A and B are shown apart, each in its own frame.
Chain A
Amino acid sequence: MEDADLRLDGNAAAGLLGEIFAVELTSARSTCRGCGATAEVGALTAYTHAPGIVLRCPGCDAVLLRVVRGGGRIWLELAGVRSLELRGPEAA
């Protein structure tokens, strides 16, 4: 099995992100700090076979978000994300 077979979509991180955020995060639009590409979190490239979840930019492959869970804690890194835009009727 190759690494490429293990590639998933940000959608696959929705359950774990749902443990942390009270809002549905995969329909939020993220902007990559590195290349400026925007994509919905559900459309990011996801790797879930590491101890935790890594979401990468589909444009430049930079790491946008990392979540590691276990031992009674959740560790969240968002260093690669410039911004997250949550959409909904009330934001209009």
Chain B
Amino acid sequence: MAGAAVLGRLTPLAWRLAEAVEIVPETPRASTLVLDVPDWPGHRAGQHVDVRLTAEDGYQAQRSYSIASAPEEAGLALTVERLDDGEVSPYLVGELRPGDRFELRGPIGGYFVWEAGTAGSLHLVGGGSGLVPLMAMLRHRAAAGGGTPTRLLLSARSLQDVLYRDELEQLAAENGDLRVALTLTRERPPGWTGYDRRVDEAMLAEVFGPPAADGLAFVCGPTRFVEAAASGLVALGYDPSRVRTERFGPTGG
């Protein structure tokens, strides 16, 4: 049926049983879960999934997590940051072992999505684990040949909180069209020469330069971070309709 292909799916989202294949620690608080999901229909860079855990007494807790892997990769990967008072993340990061299964549905969302080959430059701003969906875009971009001029501004508390640090350095070293800027807001290693403050308009101007008419910006992280960064870009002259945001709420993840 012709309509189905365009609109993505024929039936409402269904819960599936995902199996953990591998759990990769990324930082002291975050791990990447590589999952096997039967009949996974594939995803687009930037999309998320919902995870649902059910306790023995029937109580259910549900959270959304961004997909970290590129559509081109074999396994579906989520990177989850552990929130100590969370209901879902302490299980996913800490208790989950390879072979364990949990309920998941997705892929979800069609707005905070980037497709390789989209005309124009790509401007990414991530706060903490807000990097996760942006990383899916960067991996997707690299898999597609890396032609899109891309800048990433990443804010983290400290160097050890930076997700995918080696991979980001490698991606930037391999591709001159990708530049990565880092700001460390709480703790800096000795001799740090990068940014050392919260994202502000001056930093955005230095990293991204004047707005390009066909540029597309994706901003993801805790709500206050996203609103500060997005309004900073708009103040610099970026078209609000080309600044896409994904707020994680007060704590993120």
Contacts and interface: CB of A to CB of B under 8 A. Distances in A.
A27 B110 contact: yes
A5 B223 contact: yes
Interface in A1-50: 1, 4-12, 14-15, 18-24, 26-27, 39-43
B100 to A, nearest CB: 22
A27 B183 CA distance: 32
B247 A8 contact: yes
Contacts, number: 91
B7 A12 contact: no
A22 B249 CA distance: 27
B40 to A, nearest CB: 15
A25 to B, nearest CB: 8
Interface stretch (A60-68, A75-83, A84-92): A84-92
B223 A6 contact: yes
Contact of A6 (B50, B227, B241, B249): B249
B193 interface: no
Contacts of A20: 12
Nearest to A20: B12
B161 interface: no
A41 B108 CA distance: 13
Nearest to A43: B111
Contacts of B13: 15, 18-19
Interface residues of A, number: 31
A15 B64 contact: yes
B145 interface: no
B226 to A, nearest CB: 8
Contacts of B110: 14, 24, 26-27, 42
B245 A43 contact: yes
A17 to B, nearest CB: 9
Contact of B111 (A11, A19, A22, A23): A11
19 contacts: A4-B223, A4-B224, A5-B249, A6-B223, A7-B247, A8-B223, A11-B246, A15-B13, A15-B64, A15-B105, A15-B108, A18-B13, A19-B13, A20-B12, A23-B8, A24-B110, A39-B241, A40-B111, A41-B111
Interface of B: 2-3, 5-13, 48, 50, 64, 105-106, 108-113, 222-224, 227, 241, 244-250
Given A15-B64, A19-B12, A43-B241, 11 more contacts: A5-B223, A9-B245, A11-B48, A11-B246, A14-B48, A18-B108, A20-B12, A22-B11, A41-B111, A42-B110, A88-B7
